[in-house]
Amino acid sequence: GESVGLHLPTLSVQEGDNSIINCAYSNSASDYFIWYKQESGKGPQFIIDIRSNMDKRQGQRVTVLLNKTVKHLSLQIAATQPGDSAVYFCAERANYGGSQGNLIFGKGTKLSVKP
């Protein structure tokens, strides 16, 4: 079946460096993508989203890039801080059939920030 997957399950970076978390998706019908951050013991928290008619979207210290040609999504975190340590999930919206509105989540990437 179609699913969202992640290239790297774990990522360790030095405080102050930039982080890049990657995600591959296989459903070309997906039209909306979200990145979530999940800290230990908490529910996922929205970071940033992007629609399929966009290639790039920037937030505060975060940028999401979408490459529809290769079905690839990435999250860039600038000047990574210890508080960024968490598991990051990408999710795609299944825009087909009766599942419109559902999010399909990837397995997640754990980001560890070294002081």
Partner 1 sequence: DAGVIQSPRHEVTEMGQEVTLRCKPISGHDYLFWYRQTMMRGLELLIYFNNNVPIDDSGMPEDRFSAKMPNASFSTLKIQPSEPRDSAVYFCASRAGTDISYNEQFFGPGTRLTVL
- Contacts with partner 1 by CB under 8 A lie at 32, 34, 36, 41-46, 49, 51, 89, 93, 98-108
Contact 24, 75 (CB under 8 A): no
In whole angstroms, the minimum distance from the beta carbon of 17 to partner 1 comes to 27
The three-class DSSP label of residue 5 is: strand
In whole angstroms, the minimum distance from the beta carbon of 101 to partner 1 comes to 6
Select 91 or 113, whichever has its Cβ closest to partner 1.
Answer: 91
Select 34 or 75, whichever has its Cβ closest to partner 1.
Answer: 34
In whole angstroms, the minimum distance from the beta carbon of 54 to partner 1 comes to 12
Select 85 or 89, whichever has its Cβ closest to partner 1.
Answer: 89
In whole angstroms, the minimum distance from the beta carbon of 97 to partner 1 comes to 10
**And the tokens for 73?**
């999504």
Q: What is the largest CA-CA distance in the chain?
A: 47
DSSP code per residue over 58-106: E-SSEEEEEETTTTEEEEEESS--GGG-EEEEEEEE--SGGGTT-EEE-
